[in-house]
Chain A
Amino acid sequence: MHVEQPELFRGLDAEATAKVVLLGRRVTLTPDGVLFTLGDQADEVFIVERGRILLTIPMRFGTRQELVAIEERRPGQIVGWSALIHPHRFTLSARALVDSELLAIPRVALVSHMEQEPSVGYCIARNLASVVGHRLQVFEAMWLREMQRAVAHRYA
């Protein structure tokens, strides 16, 4: 991997990281290339090695539907962790903003490796929990802010 210690591999040494990387395959995308679409079966988790990935969600503008950018992922960051979380369906859509390269790791191979190497499995599970937990905290705060505005509007 070109990326220094991606967030999913934090705490793993170089040898353990190399073994996990070998489980995956390279995916290259040109600008606007689609990585996955909301609702798709999520069988692979991705790590951005190069470029930028845009996460979008469909919103209705009158009678039209548009994809609205929600978040951006940069080198070292994980994309598509829905592959590791039941029911294994993507809840956002992802596409490349620029020429991008990602490592795609199949869930089945990764889970099997984590079971065979419990110390590696623990490290990856902890990193995944950190990523998911952070996302939950941020979106919980965003939801609270919207709720506060709705309440303030009621009393205005």
Chain B
Amino acid sequence: MQAFLILAGLSVIAMVALAFLIASLFEAPAPRVHAGLPVELPPNRFFAADARTPLLSDEQFRLHVERHVRLEHAAAESFVYAPTVESLHSRSISTLVH
């Protein structure tokens, strides 16, 4: 009788161990991070504005656009008077495009 109880206890322990082993085999793999690939982080929008896009009022932005037009107009005028490839594609100091 004693030997039977020991055998039954051992078989219960073996069944539980087998169940854990089977469950771990079919578990979904954990996400892996590849060292060579960039990790895309969510933008920081909650407490601070994105530093790349400073907040401008509509009026300030309109003034930026008008300044850009004046600079581009001047660059185009200088190209028309002395047309060269370099003057056509010369960089302006407009903050709207650089």
B76 touches A142 (CB 8 A): yes
- For B76, give the chain A residue with the smallest CB separation: A141
Q: Which residues from B are CB-within-8-Å of A139?
A: 76
Q: Which residues from B are CB-within-8-Å of A142?
A: 72-73, 75-76
B77 touches A138 (CB 8 A): yes
Per the CB 8 Å criterion, the residue count for chain B at the interface is 16
Q: Which residues from B are CB-within-8-Å of A26?
A: none
CA distance A137 to B75 in the complex (A): 12
| Residue A62 is within 8 A (CB to CB) of chain B in the complex | yes
| Residue B66 is within 8 A (CB to CB) of chain A in the complex | yes
The listed residue with most B CB atoms (<10 A of its CB), out of A59, A68, A138, A141, is A141
CA distance A69 to B72 in the complex (A): 13
Per the CB 8 Å criterion, the residue count for chain A at the interface is 20
Given A141-B88, A145-B89, A149-B97, residue A66 in contact with residue B76 (CB < 8 A): no
Question: In the complex, how many angstroms separate the beta carbon of B20 from the nearest chain A beta carbon?
Answer: 54
B88 touches A68 (CB 8 A): no
Q: Mark A92-135, 1 if CB is under 8 A from B, else 0.
A: 00000000000000000000000000000000000000000010
Given A59-B65, A64-B58, A71-B73, residue A148 in contact with residue B89 (CB < 8 A): yes
Question: In the complex, how many angstroms separate the beta carbon of A63 from the nearest chain B beta carbon?
Answer: 10
Q: Which residues from B are CB-within-8-Å of A137?
A: 76, 80
CA distance A4 to B63 in the complex (A): 33
| Residue A61 is within 8 A (CB to CB) of chain B in the complex | yes
B62 touches A61 (CB 8 A): yes
List A residues at the B interface (Cβ < 8 Å): 59, 61-62, 64, 66, 68-71, 134, 137-139, 141-142, 144-146, 148-149
